[in-house]
Amino acid sequence: MDTPKPSSPLVNEHHCNNLRHKGMYVMSVPDPDEFKFYDRYDATAYWCTCTQKALGPDGLSVHPTTCKPGGQRGCCE
């Protein structure tokens, strides 16, 4: 069976459990050819599932670089 495996090139288990982006709901198949046509880029819009906004419970913007346990943000899970 083709059961989608829970992992993401952008957000993984090292990130806050509440970090979200569209790709987590859309589950597109990563395109192996994509970076033959341009370099890597990240056009992703992130949000926090607790606040349902692009700002976290601490009022700061949501991003994989900061939404990590062990960082300065106290709101992470």
CA 58: distance to chain centroid? Answer: 18
Work out how close the CB of 75 gets to other proteins at its nearest, in angstroms, rounded to a whole number: 13
Which CB, 38 or 70, lies closer to other proteins? 38
Phi, psi of 55 (to 5 degrees): -115, 140
**By the rule CB under 8 A, 8 interacts with other proteins:** yes
Q: Is 2 in the site for other proteins (CB under 8 A)?
A: yes
Q: Cα(73)–Cα(29) distance, rounded to whole angstroms?
A: 32
Q: Report the alpha-carbon distance of residue 4 to residue 37 in Å, rounded.
A: 26
Q: Which residues bind other proteins (CB under 8 A)?
A: 1-2, 4-14, 17-18, 20, 22-47, 49-55, 59-65
